[in-house]
């Protein structure tokens, strides 16, 4: 009797596991959303075409943002809502002073082929190989971690990135923020000639 119960339970678990692996094809629906969770806890969510956000597990975020030549760099530029940001690397501008939180205006940061393609689609030129798009004026307020690391751009005696306090951000440059566990724990000013 015990063997039959164990077989029945294993059968139910097997059916449940197979059902969880089934992919529902919704490719006919342009507004569909697909979420995939890989074995390394990386989550990729795709909504409408050209609207992909990739969020890495906090331990896998690295010390610098990832740059992509085939789409927006960092974790993308469409996180799903206008109020906060999921864990990941995000590009934009800091609005005002940094205190207990960061008021952040998210933008899309493109390099290489992606920059050329986006600039051309907007009837614009891209002489620098970098193209930034900020079509959404929403400001997001994200808590600042108490031990947040910050790097500011200095222009003298040469262009360099130096350690600084979050309140020292100049506002003259775009900023990469790393959100981990719902808090900004790293801010990097981005220099563009």
pTM recorded for the entire structure? 0.69
The two three-digit tokens of residue 34, written as one number? 């697909």
H-type alpha helices, the chain: 2-21, 112-121
Domain ranges for the chain: 33-190
Q: Where are the beta strands (DSSP E) in the chain?
A: 34-37, 43-46, 52-55, 88-94, 101-111, 130-133, 140-154, 160-164, 174-180, 183-190
pLDDT digit of tens for each residue in the chain (193 aa)? 333 333 332 232 222 332 333 333 333 444 433 333 333 343 333 333 344 444 444 558 898 999 999 999 999 988 877 778 999 999 999 999 999 999 999 999 999 999 999 999 999 998 899 999 999 888 999 999 999 999 999 999 999 999 999 999 988 899 999 999 999 999 999 998 7
Alpha helices, H only, 38-176 = 112-121
∠ CA(47), CA(52), CA(134), 5° rounding? 105
């Amino acid at each position: 009797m015990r063997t039959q119960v164990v077989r029945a339970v294993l059968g139910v678990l097997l059916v449940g596991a197979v059902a969880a692996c089934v992919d529902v094809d919704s490719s006919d629906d342009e507004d569909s959303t697909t979420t995939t969770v890989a074995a390394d806890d990386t989550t990729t969510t795709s909504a409408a075409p050209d609207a992909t956000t990739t969020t890495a597990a906090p331990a896998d975020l690295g010390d610098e943002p990832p740059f992509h030549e085939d789409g927006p760099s960092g974790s993308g530029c469409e996180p799903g809502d206008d109020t906060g940001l999921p864990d990941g690397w995000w590009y934009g501008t800091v609005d005002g002073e940094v205190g207990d939180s960061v008021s952040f205006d998210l933008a899309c940061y493109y390099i290489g082929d992606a920059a050329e393609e986006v600039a051309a689609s907007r009837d614009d030129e891209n002489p620098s190989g970098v193209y930034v798009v900020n079509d959404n004026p929403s400001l997001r307020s994200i808590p600042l971690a108490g031990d947040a690391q910050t790097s500011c751009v200095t222009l003298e005696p040469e262009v360099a990135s130096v350690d600084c306090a979050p309140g020292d951000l100049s506002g003259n440059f775009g900023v990469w923020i790393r959100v981990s566990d719902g808090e900004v724990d790293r801010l990097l000013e981005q220099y563009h000639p």
